[in-house]
Chains A and B, each alone.
Chain A
């Protein structure tokens, strides 16, 4: 199992390697995991990963580290996780779903 840092770095790389998917997007995502927070800022399509919480996130995704890692590595379907309340979303739900599309 990779570490959370690796998974978020991979998310950043994935967005960078497919700029057409995030073109024009401005969003700040905060990920609250078990005892740690990560922020993914996307400014005009360009991602920046920051360890720690955001000042004013548009969307906050909340999960245990284990559940998040299972989602990120394909062991848990994100919609199923959401329905089972293993993944909670605060803020702009549309942006959360947009993130799902970016990571396909």
Chain B
């Protein structure tokens, strides 16, 4: 779960009261809606507090600035995604089903928060190095989590394969929600099956050793 101390408040400050906890949650929820609507660069603190029905002063009790609330949201959403993928893949004994379950959880998450994911995909990496670092950390966590499954599936270049999997899923999700034109929509489960098939057919054929593993470019 998101650590509620992630804000402009410092660790030495007293814990949030119940009312403050709710206020902070209201600000985060409002900020997400405004970021989704206006994008990062188009969002102002004034618009966020207006959407939350709170004062500017209330905002600065919890967040230092726009960047702070975006970072808190990014952290909160990443926590939700990690947790979903963890629980749906945890007990699947079959590696292929585990892979499909993880992909399905990702597509369902994207389906639930399409505008947020779009903003993060399009703008997130270009805003600030710290945002990019957060996304990199999330991707590294997911790639590491998929590593045992990939090994079980016989994939040898697991790092390359894991990041290829994440990239494929992100692009397919973006296409599904924002670029698809005439093709009939696919459910999260259908997308997961399709991506798992594509991935498994391709990943097994990665030629090795890769250059960094001792091979040559020749």
- Whether A97 lies near B87 (C-beta < 8 A) is no
Q: Which of B3, B28, B83, B86 touches A79 (beta carbons < 8 Å)?
A: B28
A4-46 residues at the B interface, CB under 8 angstroms = none
The yes or no answer to B79 lying at the interface (CB within 8 A) is: yes
In the complex, which residues of chain A have a beta carbon less than 8 angstroms from the beta carbon of B3? 100-101, 104
Q: Which B residue sits closest to A92, measured CB to CB?
A: B15
Query: Mostly helix, strand, loop or mixed at chain A's interface?
Result: helix
In the complex, which residues of chain B have a beta carbon less than 8 angstroms from the beta carbon of A103? 1
In the complex, which residues of chain A have a beta carbon less than 8 angstroms from the beta carbon of B82? 74
- Whether A101 lies near B79 (C-beta < 8 A) is no
The yes or no answer to B24 lying at the interface (CB within 8 A) is: yes
Q: Which of A78, A94, A101, A104 has its CB near the most chain B CB atoms (within 10 A)?
A: A104
| Chain B: number of interface residues, binned into ranges | 20 to 34
- Whether A2 lies near B1 (C-beta < 8 A) is no
Question: A79-B28, A104-B3 given as contacts; is B87 within 8 A of A73 (CB)?
Answer: yes
A76-104 residues at the B interface, CB under 8 angstroms = 77-80, 82-83, 89, 93-94, 97-101, 103-104
- Whether B87 lies near A79 (C-beta < 8 A) is no
Q: Which of B15, B24, B29, B84 touches A74 (beta carbons < 8 Å)?
A: B84
> 1/0 per residue A62-83: CB within 8 Å of B?
0000000000111101111011
- Whether A98 lies near B25 (C-beta < 8 A) is no
B13-69 residues at the A interface, CB under 8 angstroms = 15-18, 21-22, 24-26, 28-29
Q: Which A residue sits closest to B82, measured CB to CB?
A: A74
* Smallest CB separation, A21 vs chain B (Å): 9
Question: A83-B22, A83-B25, A89-B18 given as contacts; is B1 within 8 A of A104 (CB)?
Answer: yes
The yes or no answer to B91 lying at the interface (CB within 8 A) is: yes
- Whether A93 lies near B22 (C-beta < 8 A) is no
- Whether A80 lies near B25 (C-beta < 8 A) is yes
In the complex, which residues of chain A have a beta carbon less than 8 angstroms from the beta carbon of B81? 74
- Whether B25 lies near A82 (C-beta < 8 A) is yes
10 examples of A-B residue contacts, CB within 8 angstroms: A72-B83, A72-B87, A74-B79, A74-B80, A74-B81, A78-B1, A79-B21, A79-B28, A80-B25, A80-B29
Chain B interface residues toward A at CB < 8 A: 1-5, 15-18, 21-22, 24-26, 28-29, 76, 79-84, 86-88, 90-91
